[in-house]
Amino acid sequence: MKNIYKYFIPTENIVARGGLTDVAALLPPYCKIVLLVTGKNSARKFGYTDIIIDSLKSAGINTIVFDKVEEDPSIETADTAAKIALKNNCNTVIGLGGGSALDAAKAAAIGGATGISIEKLLEMKEKPMEKLFFVAVPTTAGTGSEATQYSLLSNKEKNTKLNLATENSFPDIALLDAELTVSMPVNLTRNTGVDALAHAIEGYLTTRANPFTDILAESAITTVAENIHKVINNPNDISAREKMLIASNIAGRVIAHTGTSACHALGYYLTLVNGLPHGLANAVLLGKIVKWVSKFSPGKVEVIERILKNNVEDFMKTLNIDVSLSNYNLTDDDLINMANIAAGRSSTKATPGSPSANQLVELLK
């Protein structure tokens, strides 16, 4: 059968304010030793690590904590987590945190089940389907990692990210507990929120979009447009927080099928070389890519601008985001390197018009 398009998400999504306190109830009976994968600071600082340990302990489940995931996690970090899962016979991984922690945890669930190093898994064309039971608990609203099969790991020598994904690497369960996102500071709220917006818009515009992803993307763009200012101006607005979390999840479902675009492909360089947070890098670049795409797909760009009540760059300005690349200390060499690396990525090739490296440099100027 020739596959025209498909929509497939095997993840059970649970929306539950305060649900983390009962996380053990989400696990099947065979889960006896859990590897908890988190970042270095927030999970412990806000008590989330202890909440999970307590919930699991009361259900007779042991927790091994790996809390060393850095921003834009390296292949080595994911491999270390996988080896800890193997050594301790973990049959479950819980990832808690932003996209970095979730992506590293996802890779650990694959490496921990297969016993194959993450480096080798990344190289394999036919990847094994095994993974440990995997629960993803986002504490930011933006990456949508809990709704995708992707684990993006940084190759810091090549200034780009590699993607470990199989058809079976979606989380088994995504727990969307909006109470966990209330403690996000304003900058993180904004930077992750615009990442969700970028996922929805890029997925909507890419040549890999399909009717299922289009409707989800329009919904996610609308929800972000209606709620991102609310969560920035009133961080305790739990209803708006929950809507942003759901929008992020929906945008994640979009890119699970469409991938991203030249925007993310370029943004990885800005993050790894110039230190811009992932979402902010996309926010700076998104309007430039949308402008390029408007030559090929004007109708869809009109829909986006109608929902945002602005063009993308002006919408970013309403969030106090400086979209002038010239203000981010980029040299001409940076622009050329960034464009050369991005031009080789499949997400750039799936951007309408498939911009070449030279065309990317031009649109960035």
Catalog residues that contact Fe ion under the rule CB under 5 A: 195
Give CA–CA dist 307/220, Å, rounded: 10
Provide, rounded to whole angstroms, the least separation between the CB of residue 72 and Fe ion.
Answer: 11
Question: Shortest approach of Fe ion to residue 74 CB, angstroms?
Answer: 17
Beta bridge partners, 132, equal none
CB of 26 to Fe ion, least distance (A): 26
Minimum Å distance from CB 351 to Fe ion? 15
Nearer to Fe ion, 34 or 262 (CB): 262
Least distance to Fe ion from the beta carbon of 230, Å?
21
Tell me how far apart the alpha carbons of residues 26 and 346 are, in angstroms, rounded to a whole number: 36
Minimum gap (Å) between residue 71 Cβ and Fe ion: 13
Who contacts 362 (Cβ-Cβ below 8 Å, separation ≥6)? none
Closer residue to Fe ion (CB): 72 or 195: 195
CB contact set of 126 (below 8 Å; sequence gap of 6+)? none
Rounded to the nearest whole angstrom, what is the least distance from the CB of residue 280 to Fe ion in the complex? 11
Between 146 and 195, name the residue whose CB sits nearer to Fe ion: 195
Burial of residue 82 (CB within 10 Å: 0-12, 13-18, 19+) is buried
Instruction: Specify whether the CB–CB gap between 35 and 93 falls below 8 A.
Output: yes
The total number of residues written for the chain in this structure: 365
> Which residue number, 117 or 163, has a Cβ lying nearer to Fe ion?
163
Give the residue with the Cβ less far from Fe ion, 195 or 242: 195
Tell me the residue number closest to Fe ion, measured at CB: 195
Q: How far is the CB of 151 from Fe ion (least distance, A)?
A: 13
Give the nearer residue to Fe ion in terms of CB position, either 271 or 294: 271
Contact 352, 297 (CB under 8 A): yes
103/195 with CB nearer Fe ion:
195
CB closer to Fe ion, 80 vs 191: 191
- The minimum distance between CB 140 and Fe ion, in angstroms, equals 11
- Enumerate residues 6+ apart whose C-beta is below 8 A from 215: none
The whole-angstrom separation of Cα 355 and Cα 16 is 42
Nearest distance, CB of residue 289 and Fe ion, angstroms: 13
